[in-house]
């Protein structure tokens, strides 16, 4: 069962946190999330699942930024969300989709207990100019049945920025020690 807009409002502060919250973004059964002013793109020609792939950060100016087709851009929402006892999901807004802009390639499904910003996997069918702060996607909430175990992964939980893929951590348990983009754990040996 999907929560109505009124039920989303009733759950604010308890099961749902949206920060900042703007009443104008509340829909009949969802809430519009807006686009942050930064994007990441991968610098590698071939992405490697077992490695931390290099990324380049870019700023979306107020005058807009033209996205190229066949290029993956990682963005994030301006809003930080927190969800308890419900399953959060995001989808692109129909007005955005009708311009040939996808806001997630596969990762629109959230986990109960997720806290943080939503990383968007942005893909354009043809060149399109985007703007910071535009209502880019909508979050909606499902009720969940059965015993709940909240999301607690150290990969994406409580993120503070756009999150490139951290799959390499699953495939190589020692990756955090070896990866120069991640902070070192000074309680373990250092490798020079």
Instruction: Tell me the mean pLDDT in the region 5-23.
Output: 97
Which range of 105-119, 121-135, 144-158 scores highest in mean pLDDT? It is 121-135
CB 74 within 8 A of CB 164: yes
Mean pLDDT of 87-100: 95
The yes-or-no verdict on residue 187 having pLDDT over 60 is no
* Residue 176: per-residue pLDDT: 58
pLDDT at 137 over 70: yes
Give the range among 83-97, 128-142, 147-161 with minimum mean pLDDT: 147-161
> Concatenated DSSP letters for the chain?
-BPPHHHHHHHBTTTEEEES--GGGB-SS-EEEEB-SEEEEE--SS--TTS---EEEEE--TT-EEEPBT-EEEEEEEEEEEESSEEEEEEE-HHHHTTTEES-SS--B--TT-EEEEEEEEEESS-EEE-TT-EEEEEEEEE--S-------TTTTT--S-----HHHHH-TTHHHH-TTSPP-TTS----
Q: What is the pLDDT of residues 146-158, one digit of tens each?
A: 999 898 887 889 9
pLDDT at 185 over 50: no
Tens digit of each residue's pLDDT (9 = 90 or more) over 63-80? 999 999 999 999 999 999
Mean per-residue pLDDT of the chain: 89
Domain ranges of the chain: 5-175
Confidence of residue 182 (pLDDT cuts 50, 70, 90): very low
Give the pLDDT score at 189.
35
> Worst-scoring range by mean pLDDT, 24-33, 67-76, 117-126, 161-170?
161-170
Which pTM does this prediction carry? Answer: 0.86
* 5-175, CATH topology level: Deoxyuridine 5'-Triphosphate Nucleotidohydrolase; Chain A (2.70.40)
Nearest to 81 by CA among 143, 148, 139, 11: 139
Does residue 175 carry a pLDDT above 80?
Answer: no
170 pLDDT above the threshold of 90: no
Catalytic positions, please? 121
Check pLDDT > 50 for residue 183.
no
């Amino acid at each position: 069962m999907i929560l109505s807009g009124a039920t989303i409002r009733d759950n604010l502060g308890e099961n749902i946190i949206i920060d900042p919250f703007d009443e104008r973004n509340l829909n009949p059964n969802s809430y519009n999330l807006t686009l942050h002013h930064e994007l990441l793109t991968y610098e590698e020609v071939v992405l490697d699942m077992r490695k931390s792939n290099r990324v380049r950060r870019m700023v979306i100016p107020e005058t807009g930024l033209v996205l190229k087709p066949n290029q993956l851009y990682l963005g994030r929402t301006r809003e930080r969300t927190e969800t308890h006892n419900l399953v959060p999901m995001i989808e692109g807004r129909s007005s955005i989709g009708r311009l040939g802009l996808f806001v997630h390639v596969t990762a629109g499904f959230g986990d109960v207990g997720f806290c943080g910003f939503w990383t968007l996997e942005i893909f354009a069918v043809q060149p399109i100019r985007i703007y910071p702060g535009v209502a880019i996607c909508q979050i909606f909430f499902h009720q969940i049945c059965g015993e709940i175990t909240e999301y607690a992964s150290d990969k994406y939980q409580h993120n503070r920025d756009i999150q490139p893929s951290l799959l390499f951590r699953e495939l190589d348990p020692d990756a955090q020690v070896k990866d120069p983009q991640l902070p070192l754990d000074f309680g373990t040996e250092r490798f020079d």
